[in-house]
């Protein structure tokens, strides 16, 4: 019982420190070893608030709005420090930055550097905008345009075939060579396989970037925008 009580007291104390560190370290006297230690401890417990207008769990698309106290110049510098020029082949290269792409003014377009084949690797477009408290970064993630065109054609063809077979089955009213329910399993299975392959391959990588960028920008707030302004058209 004593051990449990001590553990609970320690948890309360640790949860109190990040909220009250400004009391422990006043503005005029925080530049001390103890003050720095308390400050770093408090920062380690601070996590950005997370809100959502509609999570895109079942589509290969992400739209985040990250708010930070960093300036536009500092955000741009951090993107530059973690991004290198795009290269077609990397083979067994291991000494590289986590992302590759380009940065132009307040816009950047990057993708994660990976060492395996993933046709549905997210293409990440970011826009940095200054605001009263620092700046906000809009991030949009989606597969490459050519991959999206091929995917729509591929799944669209299978879907058309499936609907045609379903129509024949419903119109026949009886089990036959053209109306047997078992004939629907092949196109249905292909549709399911294609969907899992696309969304799974995309989400496997987008989840990593959704963790990386808020940490990189020291986010105070992360908002999942869903399909709000999906193509980045100016408000």
Would you kindly state where each structural domain of the chain is located, as residue ranges? Answer: 1-46, 48-235
pLDDT number for residue 220: 93
Beta bridge pairs of residue 66: 137, 222
Distances (CA, A) of 138 to 1, 133, 197, 225, 231: 50, 16, 27, 9, 11
Residue 13 and residue 27: Cα distance in Å, rounded? 22
pLDDT number for residue 183: 76
Give the distance from CA 224 to its chain's centroid: 9
pLDDT number for residue 161: 87
**Which residues, in sequence order, are CB contacts of 140 under 8 Å at separation 6+?**
61, 62, 63, 124, 125, 126, 230, 232
Ordered per-residue pLDDT tens for the chain, 235 residues: 434 344 344 443 434 444 443 444 444 444 554 454 444 444 434 456 666 665 667 899 999 999 999 999 999 999 999 999 998 877 777 889 999 999 999 999 999 999 888 999 999 999 999 999 999 999 999 999 999 999 999 999 999 988 888 887 777 765 555 446 777 888 888 999 999 999 999 999 999 999 999 999 999 999 998 776 665 544 4
**Which residues, in sequence order, are CB contacts of 178 under 8 Å at separation 6+?**
168, 169, 172
Residue 187 and residue 162: Cα distance in Å, rounded? 5
Beta bridge pairs of residue 103: 108
pLDDT number for residue 186: 85
Q: Model-level pTM?
A: 0.71
């Amino acid at each position: 019982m004593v051990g449990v009580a001590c553990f609970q007291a320690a948890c309360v104390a640790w949860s109190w420190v990040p909220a009250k560190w400004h009391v422990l370290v006043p503005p005029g006297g925080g530049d001390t070893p103890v003050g720095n230690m308390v400050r770093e401890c408090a920062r380690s417990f601070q996590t950005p608030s997370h809100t959502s207008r509609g999570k895109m769990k079942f589509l290969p698309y992400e739209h985040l709005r990250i708010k930070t106290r960093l300036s536009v110049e500092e955000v741009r510098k951090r993107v530059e420090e973690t991004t290198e020029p795009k290269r077609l082949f990397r083979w067994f290269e291991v000494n590289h930055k986590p992302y590759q792409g380009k940065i132009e003014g307040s816009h950047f377009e990057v993708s994660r550097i990976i060492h395996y084949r993933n046709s549905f690797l997210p293409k990440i477009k970011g826009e940095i905008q200054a605001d009263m408290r620092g700046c906000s970064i809009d991030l949009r993630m989606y597969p490459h345009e050519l991959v999206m065109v091929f995917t729509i054609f591929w799944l669209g063809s299978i879907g058309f075939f499936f609907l045609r077979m379903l129509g024949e089955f419903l119109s026949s009213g009886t089990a036959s060579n053209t109306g047997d329910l078992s004939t629907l399993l092949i196109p249905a299975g292909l549709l399911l396989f294609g969907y899992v392959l696309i969304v799974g391959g995309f989400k496997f990588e987008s989840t990593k970037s959704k963790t990386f960028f808020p940490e990189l920008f020291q986010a105070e707030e992360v908002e999942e925008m869903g399909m709000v302004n999906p193509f980045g058209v100016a408000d």
